[in-house]
Amino acid sequence: MATVTTGKVRQIRGGEFLMGSEAAYPEERPVRRVAVEPFAIDRCPVTNADFTRFIEATGYVTVAERPIDPAQYPGAIPELCVPGSLVFARTAGPVDLRDWSQWWQWTPGAQWRRPLGPDSSIDALMDHPVVHVAFEDAEAYARWAGKELPTEAEWEYAARGGLQGKLFIWGDEMVPDGQIMANTWQGEFPWQNLLLDGYERTSPVASFPPNGYGLYDMAGNVWEWTTDWYSATPSAEQTSPCCGAPPARGANIEESYDPAQSQIRIPRKVVKGGSHLCAPNYCLRFRPAARSPQMIDSSMSHLGFRCIVRNAPSESA
């Protein structure tokens, strides 16, 4: 057994595992053996109900609700420099998959309470993952809850649920025995969603089977923040060929800037797990090894988080 049930969290005893994958995208390579210390992790992503309690207790204002400094975004259209966030909009038909602006729309007024824009609500979504949270927002919640955000290695170790080298958190078949195992996109992204899993956007947490550690939504539903700075390749510390597995070490902040947008000096963190928008024809990233960069000031309609407690004794986790 690698876990102990502790209510809303699971205690992970830690150990060594093979991080990364050679089977899909280049930024997941190479596979390397790393070690993680014991920690407890939320069984589910933070929900709208959880985040509501945090806001009511603290009066916190999220990044998406704050005024925007146009100087941080050279070339931005001035009238769009207002509080808001990015919201997914399905296209009418096939589009160039290299141009994400075809399906992401900057939506003034979109934020965690108004996930689709100012006329939307979370009243019927209290058991869904909170979305439109920037990295700073996730950190603020974690501090309030007496927790932290996971590193990339901690997140991936927990997501694998004790399975070594498997493509998905449940094994190597995407749809074992015809059972859909996560809230992802079925059909041709971004225009044809067959809804075989029953959900157009987010789903209530724990709607799909847990992984081997009893954790829900480690694949699909929403991307989740980690504390690691993003680099397209693992750092030297992660691939050190020494005796015994070293602890994983992420990139540094300078490596995390987007080389394709050198005029924008906003660092990026690693997000994990994929989301309900991940589809095999575009983004096969609802896998434990998958990783993606996310600017720390960004919030989106498919981006959430979960928390951990390091070295937490089982009886108090």
pLDDT tens figures, 180-191: 999 999 999 999
CB 203 within 8 A of CB 181: no
Average pLDDT in the chain: 90
pLDDT tens figures, 90-110: 999 999 999 999 999 999 999
Confidence at residue 287, expressed as pLDDT on a 0 to 100 scale? 98
pLDDT exceeds 70 at position 240: no
Question: What is the band of 2 on the pLDDT scale with cuts at 50, 70, 90?
Answer: very low
Confidence at residue 260, expressed as pLDDT on a 0 to 100 scale? 84
| Token representation of residue 118 | 């100012």
pLDDT tens figures, 28-76: 999 999 999 999 999 999 999 999 999 999 999 999 999 877 766 666 6
Lowest pLDDT segment from 118-122, 215-219, 239-243, 283-287:
239-243
Helix (H) or strand (E) holding 155: helix 152-160
Confidence at residue 315, expressed as pLDDT on a 0 to 100 scale? 35
Question: What is the band of 263 on the pLDDT scale with cuts at 50, 70, 90?
Answer: confident
Q: CA–CA separation, 224 vs 306, rounded Å?
A: 7
Cα distances from 59 to residues 118, 144, 232, in angstroms, run: 20, 12, 37
Per-residue burial over 52-83, b = 16 or more CB atoms within 10 Å of its CB, e = otherwise = eebbeeeeeebbbbeebeeeebeeeeeeebeb
Cα distances from 305 to residues 10, 23, 172, 226, 240, in angstroms, run: 16, 26, 25, 8, 29
Q: Which residues contact 241 (CB under 8 A, 6 or more apart)?
A: none
Q: Which residues contact 183 (CB under 8 A, 6 or more apart)?
A: 197, 199, 202, 203, 207, 208, 217, 220, 221, 276
| Token representation of residue 139 | 């950190």
Strands (E), the chain: 3-6, 9-12, 15-19, 32-36, 39-42, 84-88, 104-108, 223-229, 268-272, 292-295, 303-304, 308-310
Confidence at residue 314, expressed as pLDDT on a 0 to 100 scale? 44
Between residues 140 and 79, which one has the greater pLDDT?
140
What ranges do the domains of the chain cover? 3-316
Check: pTM over 0.85? Answer yes or no.
yes
CB 129 within 8 A of CB 217: yes
CB 116 within 8 A of CB 88: no
Confidence at residue 242, expressed as pLDDT on a 0 to 100 scale? 38
295-301 mean pLDDT: 96
CATH topology of domain 3-316: paralog of FGE (formylglycine-generating enzyme) (3.90.1580)
Q: CA–CA separation, 27 vs 84, rounded Å?
A: 30
Q: What percent of the chain has pLDDT over 90?
A: 79
Confidence at residue 75, expressed as pLDDT on a 0 to 100 scale? 66
pLDDT exceeds 80 at position 268: yes
Confidence at residue 246, expressed as pLDDT on a 0 to 100 scale? 58
